[in-house]
Amino acid sequence: MQLGLLSRLMGRPAEIRSLPVTVRYVPSVLRWEMAKGAAGTAGGLALLAGVNPSLWIAVPVGAVTAAFAAYGWQQHRRRRLRYEVTPERLLAAEGERSRALAWSALERIKLNFYAFGRKAENGTLVLHLHGGGHRIKLDSAADEFATALYYSAQAARQRELSLDPTTLFNLERLGL
């Protein structure tokens, strides 16, 4: 695996650790994302309350404000998420709820890259795993993303899964 490329794409160091590993979202990243959601929500509410716009303006501004609020809430919920990568499975847990996907039950893997800016020098990688009646989504804002990605790709290779062209390109580019 090309950890240098992965590190550059994520904008922070990447490392593959031995299993088992607990994966969580990086608190500093979550704080920044929650702050952006709160700022957008506050700005929209201030605009709606302070200017008292016509309905034609208030509805789109209200929709954007609601989107910022939903995004901030989503980031807040991510603080409670934890993933455990073991030789047998990937477990996603949020509070008392959990979903376990055994590597032997992996049916589909998808890896997308969403670039920040036109040069695509860094961005967010999003890993989607499906199998055993469960879907698990993990993105590169998580602290041990490289480890989860590596073992997911190994499981897909062992199961000889067919991959969509985007996933195949992204995995090959990363040396997986």
| Rg of the chain taking only CA atoms, in angstroms | 19
In this predicted model, what pLDDT tens digit does every residue of 5-55 receive, in sequence order? 888 877 788 888 888 999 898 888 889 999 999 999 999 999 999 988 899
Cα gap 70→93, rounded to integer Å: 21
In this predicted model, what pLDDT tens digit does every residue of 149-170 receive, in sequence order? 999 999 999 999 999 999 999 8
Burial of 160 (0-12, 13-18, 19+ CB in 10 A): exposed
pTM for this prediction = 0.81
Three-class HEC string of 89-148: EEEEEECCEEEEEEHHHEEEEEEEEEECCCCCCCEEEEEEEEECCEEEEEECCECCHHHH
Averaged pLDDT of the chain: 89
> 100 phi and psi, to 5 degrees?
-115, 130
Cα gap 176→19, rounded to integer Å: 18
Cα gap 93→81, rounded to integer Å: 6
In this predicted model, what pLDDT tens digit does every residue of 107-132 receive, in sequence order? 999 999 888 767 667 788 899 999 98
